């Protein structure tokens, strides 16, 4: 598998943050990234696929395009799917699920296309088809061209493998890392969150500061592919940057349960020594000792938690606290409601990114140093 040909590797991004992910992809040494709707494309062999899953904080999934063919009708799809070199990628008896989409093609029924491909895999490879399978074959039929991709990640990459506890409306780690990047965070300043929930922003920021790989604690679908080189993967995963930081990362929340969650999550992530979590109201929030940095906060918003009218007072109190005590700090605030952001009274810059999250459009509101 390590001597494989090069593939087109598609790194899935939250829509609206493709260029932000591209900046990370470039920074992490992937060559010639190309931005397109929904993600970033790079080329490379299996080691680059593994590395993308291991080191990229902002990618939601890593897909590999493994080939394809033209098919004008279902019988042709069936025949060519049976002849496809599945054995180069899948082990006999693999448990997987097949997803298909059809667009501008003579084959227009995605369900029928899925069925033909599933039958070919079962009869030619002894595959077991299961809707619950962690391994996923994605089939796109567009302009009569059938393209197969494998999801090499398995579970979405925001599942880092060490957060057992989450709050009511958690921020995905992948999204949190991209928002931190959008706010100019590079791991060289403290980060504080006055409404930290399960601690996502604080833990992500701390991990970035000490150079921990986001995928260090979990398994991936590619570990079950045909010809997988377990030793080469272990060698890659064993390389961990040894970076010390004098910085400290602070999370606060008025909910004692959230503070217990955050503390446990930081412990499992290996950043307990540089993070602290305090049970206190926004009105008591104060900067940690040391240089100014970034306040990053994902307050509740009406569409997901609570009553929007009651939230204006919360946002107003947050704005007053930050304006009074956080001179020299920048602010990044995530909300679905521009009116709530405005009610903080903070001098937000124009035109932050807007992304889909949990069925809502959420915006990132940023300030310069206060």
Cα distances from 292 to residues 171, 189, 206, 347, in angstroms, run: 24, 7, 15, 17
Rg (CA), the chain: 23
Distance between CA atoms of residues 209 and 143, nearest Å: 46
The set of residues, in sequence order, having a beta carbon less than 8 Å from that of 239 and lying 6+ positions away, is none
> In CATH terms, is domain 7-151 a member of 3.40.50.1820?
no
Distance between CA atoms of residues 286 and 313, nearest Å: 19
Confidence check: pLDDT of 212 > 70:
yes
Residue 3: pLDDT band with limits 50, 70, 90: low
Cα distances from 105 to residues 113, 262, 282, 302, in angstroms, run: 12, 49, 56, 42
Average pLDDT over all residues of the chain: 94
Token pair, residue 126, equals: 């002894």
**Could you give the residue range(s) of every CATH 3.30.2130.30 domain in the chain?**
7-151
Rounded mean pLDDT of 36-63? 97
Are residues 245 and 273 in contact, defined by beta-carbon separation less than 8 angstroms?
no
Element (H, E) at 208: helix 200-210
Compute the half-sphere exposure of residue 275: CA atoms within 13 Å on the CB side of its CA. 33
Confidence check: pLDDT of 284 > 70:
yes
pLDDT at site 1: 46
- Burial label for 133, CB within 10 Å (0-12, 13-18, 19+), is middle
Residue 169: pLDDT band with limits 50, 70, 90: low
Distance between CA atoms of residues 271 and 232, nearest Å: 27
Confidence check: pLDDT of 286 > 50:
yes
From first CA to last CA, the distance across the chain in angstroms is 52
Better-predicted residue by pLDDT, 289 or 297? 297
Rounded mean pLDDT of 164-192? 89
Confidence check: pLDDT of 88 > 60:
yes
% of the chain at pLDDT higher than 70: 96
Cα distances from 148 to residues 116, 118, 136, 156, in angstroms, run: 14, 13, 10, 19
Predicted structure pTM score: 0.94
pLDDT at site 225: 96
Distance between CA atoms of residues 197 and 91, nearest Å: 42
Fold designation for 173-214+248-366: Rossmann fold (3.40.50)
Better-predicted residue by pLDDT, 361 or 367? 367
Confidence check: pLDDT of 103 > 90:
yes
Are residues 152 and 54 in contact, defined by beta-carbon separation less than 8 angstroms?
no
% of the chain at pLDDT higher than 90: 87
Rounded mean pLDDT of 96-103? 97
Token pair, residue 262, equals: 């955050």
pLDDT in tens, 302-355: 655 567 778 899 999 999 999 999 999 999 999 999 999 999 999 999 888 999
Distance between CA atoms of residues 143 and 328, nearest Å: 55
């Amino acid at each position: 598998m390590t001597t494989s040909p090069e593939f087109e590797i598609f790194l899935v991004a939250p829509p609206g943050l493709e260029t932000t992910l591209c900046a990370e992809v470039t920074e992490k040494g992937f060559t010639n990234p190309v931005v397109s709707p929904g993600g970033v494309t790079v080329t490379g062999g299996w080691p680059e696929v593994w590395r993308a899953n291991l080191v990229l904080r902002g990618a939601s999934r890593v897909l590999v395009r493994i080939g394809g063919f033209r098919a004008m009708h279902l019988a042709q799809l069936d025949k060519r799917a049976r002849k496809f070199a599945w054995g180069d990628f899948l082990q006999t008896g693999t448990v997987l699920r097949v997803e298909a989409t059809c667009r501008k093609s003579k084959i227009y029924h995605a369900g029928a296309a899925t069925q033909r491909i599933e039958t070919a895999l079962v009869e030619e490879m002894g595959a077991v088809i299961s809707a619950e399978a962690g391994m996923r074959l994605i089939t796109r039929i567009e302009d009569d061209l059938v393209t197969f991709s494998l999801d090499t990640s398995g579970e979405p990459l925001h599942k880092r493998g060490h957060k057992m506890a989450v709050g009511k409306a958690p921020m995905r780690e992948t999204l949190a890392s991209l928002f931190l990047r959008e706010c100019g965070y590079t791991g060289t300043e403290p980060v504080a969150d006055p409404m930290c929930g399960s601690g996502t922003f604080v833990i992500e920021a701390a991990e970035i500061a000490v150079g921990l790989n986001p995928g260090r604690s979990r398994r991936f679908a590619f570990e079950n592919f045909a010809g997988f080189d377990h030793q080469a993967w272990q060698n890659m995963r064993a390389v961990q940057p040894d970076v010390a930081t004098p910085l400290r990362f602070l999370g606060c929340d008025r909910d004692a349960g959230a503070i217990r969650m955050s503390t446990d999550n930081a412990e499992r992530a290996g950043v307990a020594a540089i993070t602290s979590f305090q049970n206190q109201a926004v009105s008591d929030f104060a900067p940690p000792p040391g240089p100014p940095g970034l306040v990053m906060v994902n307050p509740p918003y009406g569409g997901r938690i609570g009553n929007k009218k009651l939230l204006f007072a919360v946002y107003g109190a947050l704005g007053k606290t930050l304006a009074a005590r956080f001179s020299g700090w920048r602010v990044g605030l995530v909300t679905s409601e521009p009116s709530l952001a405005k009610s903080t009274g903070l001098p937000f810059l124009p035109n932050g990114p807007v992304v889909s999250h949990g069925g809502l459009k959420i915006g990132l509101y940023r300030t310069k140093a206060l």
